[in-house]
Structure 1
Amino acid sequence: MQRLLNTELTLWDLLGGRVSIDTAHYFRVLTHQRTLLFVFLALLTFVAADPSGSRNFVPMWFAIILWPVAFSFYLIVYHAQLLSLAALTRRFSWLSMPTPLVGFVALLPTVYVCRSAVIYMSDGEFPYDVSDQLIFYFLSVQGLETVFYRFILPGVRAEIEAEKPSRHLVIGGEQVDLSQLLHIEAREHHVHLTFENAKSLARARLGDIVAQTSAEDGMQPHRSWWVARDPAIRTERRNGRLILRLRDDTEVPVARTRVEDVLEWLENHANPGR
């Protein structure tokens, strides 16, 4: 189960933006204070607006708890899909999934289970067919999820990452935050550093940099490259040669003499069990 939770997933939001995250990290983001505040305000809006029209047919206490219960049920189905996607991703590393599809599949049983509960609590008097409102619920949920993926998730992830103890490498006489480093490419007497949101150039030897790292930090698949440990790394074949495709779509060649070492490192450190 832990391997599934730590398997990196590739998702696409409603506007086509790509999100790479594992299920364990996703759960940490959901339980963050800022996310909980966002969820509370969203649920408060639904309770106040009563788009289902159920308030006149059920007790007030039930009308109030209906939306939190519906949201919890939605999350259970949503996360079950993420775990299923993780299992598939371990077999098909290229797999990606649009979040609107995941949301729609989670929304269907949620809507109909809640409708059944409202009908039961109203002694069968609830007259509305929620299938007529399914498009409204879908668009509402997708709007909120898009806000979450675009504006809540990045900031919360950054805060979570900032809580980790940082390590630094000394490159060209400067300290470099290892947690933000994606890969290094050596060209002549310089190294090109690629970070999460930036790039830089330094005069240094790649061998001196690699000597400061361990297998837990990253791997040197080629004499001119070093890549940081990342579950998002994928292996591909190009003209019979093994290459690594990184989170930012950079293609890194693997030296023929290092293929076995690279595959073993990926198995043990980057994406165990894949």
Structure 2
Amino acid sequence: MRAGYRRKILVVLVMTVVAVVTGPFGTFFDLTILERAYYWPVALVFITVPMIALTELTLYRLPGNLHPILRIAIGAFIAGPIGATALLVLDTMVRHAEFTPYNLGFRWVFVTLIGFGVGVFEGYLRPMYHAAPEPQPDADKTTSKPAEPEPPLFVRNLEPELGTELISITTQDHYLDVVTSNGAGRILKRMSDALAELNGYPGMQIHRSHWVALHAVERVEKDGRKCQVVLKNGTTLPVSRPNVPVLTEALEKR
């Protein structure tokens, strides 16, 4: 299981425990602790699952010219009615609430705001923090080592433990399989958006489904009209014919 999903599950579990104990939104007085012990797990599952799915979908699938926060807001707004309906149905069964447009709308706003806040933190602020470059020492304090280049914007999509040294990126349906020197991970993103975020990282798209870092290429193999690269980690990837001379030139200059 990816670390990102493990973290999301942990967050939902913590929220559930806190909600059961504290009884927010009147549930402390309306329900006993045993009733809250099944009310909040059910409510949070129906709220968080569609919210996470839709905010991630809109964040990575809507046009890149829309600000990420706006994309998250659209996903939270779309997911709001799903969680709101589930919450109101649960309230009619447990808390004797009435199924009215007002009650549905109130919960829609509540679910959307909560989902938007969590989505901004998880999908925008936290990745930016992990992608931020380490502060460089002052020039007058040390001259022994040149400053490390700033990592590309693309690495903010990766889990911190994967590092910033890219090896290859491969499309897999709507996902990208990303390999680094520390391991591999899968993210929901288009190859075109990934290329735009690589910010001049020394590599190239060798095939419509594959991008490689130049430093990771061990050799180029040709078999008739077919061509492929062998990476230093042993992976073999195809090279489309128009990219063969471009790749050859790039490898000579690295």
Question: Relative CO higher for 1 or 2, CA cutoff 8 Å, sep ≥ 6?
Answer: 1
TM-score of the superposition, structure 1-length normalised? 0.42
Specify which structure has the higher proportion of helix.
2
Which of the two has greater strand per residue? Answer: 1
